[in-house]
Amino acid sequence: MILKFFKKNFYIYLFFVFLIFIFDRLSKIYVINESLKNLDNFIFKSTYLNIRLIWNEGIAFGLFSFDDKVLYHSISLLILFIILVIIYMIVKSDGFKKFSLMLILGGALGNFYDRIVYGAVPDYIDFHVNGFHWFIFNIADIFISIGVFALIILEIFDNKNNEKN
Out of 114, 123, 126, 158, pick the active-site residue. Answer: 123
**How many domains is the chain built from?**
1
Give the whole-angstrom CA distance, residue 98 versus residue 78: 22
What pLDDT does residue 132 have? Answer: 85
For residue 93, CA distances in Å to 5, 26, 80, 142 come to 10, 29, 20, 22
> Which residues span the domain enclosing 156?
2-164
Active site residue 68: no
Per-residue pLDDT of the chain (165 residues; tens, 9 = 90+): 555 655 668 889 999 999 999 999 999 999 999 999 988 788 888 899 999 999 988 765 455 555 677 777 888 899 999 999 999 999 999 889 999 999 999 999 999 999 999 999 999 999 999 888 888 999 999 999 999 999 999 999 886 666 666
Active site residue 141: yes
What pLDDT does residue 165 have? Answer: 61
What pLDDT does residue 92 have? Answer: 92
Question: What's the whole-model pTM score?
Answer: 0.85
What pLDDT does residue 98 have? Answer: 95
